């Protein structure tokens, strides 16, 4: 058994699995935990296959436990088995925005209990107490045009959905605990729109059922699984009338977690902080669709439909704080990200 572990909850999820790979490549030993509620077991094999192919000189060791983080007693077994956890990255949460409106209690129980258990067990069992929390730009609500690109100092807007509220509550929990417990450090990484897949096409986005998100719907339409893409709304107050987002490659996003963890390990009085993890560039739905067609040569079928309720018109990140303080930035061209998503879809 190694020591100096990094615990990753939600390790078989889309962002969790890519982050496990980057941590291992950076030489960290990783204990992944997941209950496979919203992910597939073969993602764990995908991680192991990528590491077998890796020629990194200092790759870490990977352990995995099938655990429900919302169950204190089962989660506790990880902390008693793997002594020397120096930091945790917390992805485990339900994340379907519209589903959270139908099942609020499940969202509050799962998303809050799993985080509370992680903080509780970290302060009880770990000498080094560092938690990186997977947050979201949804905490900003619908920013005004004058506030874009959005900064971390932008006031947080009360979310309209239980999903978004659990993100905000979890940010408050880790901030209050960092202020209350002297050895406990935490940081919130506020993601924009993670897309794409690993360059090996061994792991990627695996939406269950009909994809809610844009890029998997595009690739499934291009693969003939879906009939036609509907672009939700062509009458927004944007240059081409479609919504604008900040699309970031999932591998660049994963690397941001390694940078944040390193910053906390090097800086015991880190306390608390929050960082926008985006590219800093806004891209419209139509621009992304045209980029897909140009990059892949696939004649994607799409039409314009009604707006989707709950959609923010436009939001993209000011990511200069993460660059300045974490030494991290996302600069992968959109064409390359789109290629990785398409290669992954073809392999599926
Ligand atoms: C992007 C744009 C849609 C599908 C993200 C995260 C989500 C959550 C909230 C994460 C929008 C349009 C989509 C389609 C379309 N936060 N679209 N046709 O809504 O920005 O959600 O932030 O923690 O997990 O993904 O991403 O990909 O759903 O939509 O026109 O079939 O694409 O209207 O403008 P969104 P998305």
Give the pLDDT confidence score for residue 91 in this predicted structure: 98
Count: domains in the chain: 1
Given the residues 163, 191, 217, 275, the one annotated as active site: 163
Is any atom of ligand 1 closer than 6 Å to the C-beta of 257?
no
Q: Determine which residue's CA is closest to atom 4 belonging to ligand 1.
A: 214
Go through 50-88 and write b for each residue having 16 or more CB atoms within 10 A of its CB, e for each that does not: bbeeeeeeebbebbbbebbbbeeebbbebbeebeebbbb
Report how far ligand 1's centroid is from the alpha carbon of 193 (Å).
8
Residue 285, pLDDT score: 98
Q: Is 95 touching ligand 1 by the criterion CB < 6 Å?
A: yes
What integer pLDDT is reported at residue 190 of this predicted model?
98
CB-based contact 329:319 (threshold 8 Å): yes
Question: Which residue's CA is minimally distant from atom 13 of ligand 1?
Answer: 214
Active-site annotation holds for 163: yes
208 Cβ closer than 6 Å to some ligand 1 atom: no
53 occurs within a structural domain: yes
Q: Establish whether residue 78 lines the binding site of ligand 1, counting it when its CB lies within 6 angstroms of any ligand atom.
A: no
Q: What's the residue count for the chain?
A: 348
Return the CATH number at 77: 3.40.50.720
Percent helix, percent strand, percent coil in the chain, to nearest 5: 40, 20, 40
How far is ligand 1, taken at its centre, from the CA of residue 50, in Å? 29
Q: What is the pLDDT of residue 282?
A: 98
20 in any annotated domain: yes
Task: Provide the pLDDT for residue 97.
Answer: 82
pTM: 0.96
What backbone phi and psi angles, to 5 degrees, belong to 191?
-80, 155
Query: For position 71, what pLDDT does the model report?
Result: 98
| Nearest-CA residue for atom 18 of ligand 1 | 231
Which parts of the chain register pLDDT below 50?
A: none
To test ligand 1's pocket by mutation, which of 311, 312, 315 has the most ligand atoms within 8 angstroms of CB?
311
Structural domain span for residue 118 = 5-195+247-277
Please give the pLDDT value at position 2: 61
In a domain, 241, yes or no: no
Give the model's pLDDT for residue 268.
Answer: 82
170 falls within a domain: yes
């Amino acid at each position: 058994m190694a020591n100096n572990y990094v615990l990753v909850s939600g390790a078989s999820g889309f962002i969790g699995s890519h982050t496990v790979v980057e941590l291992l490549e950076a030489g960290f030993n990783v204990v992944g935990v997941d209950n496979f509620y919203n992910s597939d077991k073969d993602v764990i094999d995908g991680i192991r296959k990528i590491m077998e192919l890796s020629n990194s000189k200092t790759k870490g060791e990977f352990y995995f436990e099938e655990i429900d983080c919302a169950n204190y007693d089962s989660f506790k077994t990880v902390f008693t088995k793997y002594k020397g956890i120096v930091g945790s990255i917390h992805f485990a949460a339900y994340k379907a925005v519209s589903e959270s409106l139908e099942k609020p209690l499940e969202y509050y129980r799962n998303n809050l209990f799993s985080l509370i258990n992680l903080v509780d067990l970290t302060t009880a069992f770990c000498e080094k107490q560092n938690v990186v929390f997977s947050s979201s730009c949804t905490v900003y609500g619908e920013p005004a045009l004058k506030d874009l690109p959005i900064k971390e100092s932008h006031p947080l807007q009360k979310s309209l959905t239980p999903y978004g509220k659990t993100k905000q509550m979890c940010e408050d929990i880790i901030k209050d605990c960092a202020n209350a417990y002297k050895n406990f450090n935490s940081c919130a990484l506020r993601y924009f729109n993670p897309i794409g897949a690993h360059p090996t096409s061994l792991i990627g986005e695996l939406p269950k059922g009909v994809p809610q998100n844009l890029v998997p719907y595009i690739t499934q339409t291009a693969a003939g699984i879906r009939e036609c893409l509907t672009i939700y709304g062509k009458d927004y107050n944007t240059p081409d009338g479609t919504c604008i987002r900040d699309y970031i490659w999932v591998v660049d996003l994963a690397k941001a977690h390694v940078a944040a963890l390193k910053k906390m390990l090097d800086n015991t009085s880190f306390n608390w902080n929050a960082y926008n993890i985006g590219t800093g560039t806004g891209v419209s739905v139509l621009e992304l669709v045209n980029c897909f067609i140009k990059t892949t040569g696939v004649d994607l079928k799409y039409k314009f439909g009604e707006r989707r309720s709950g959609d923010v018109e436009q939001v993209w990140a000011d990511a200069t704080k993460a660059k300045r303080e974490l030494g991290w930035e996302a600069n992968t061209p959109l064409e390359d990200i789109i290629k990785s998503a398409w290669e992954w879809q073809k392999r599926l």
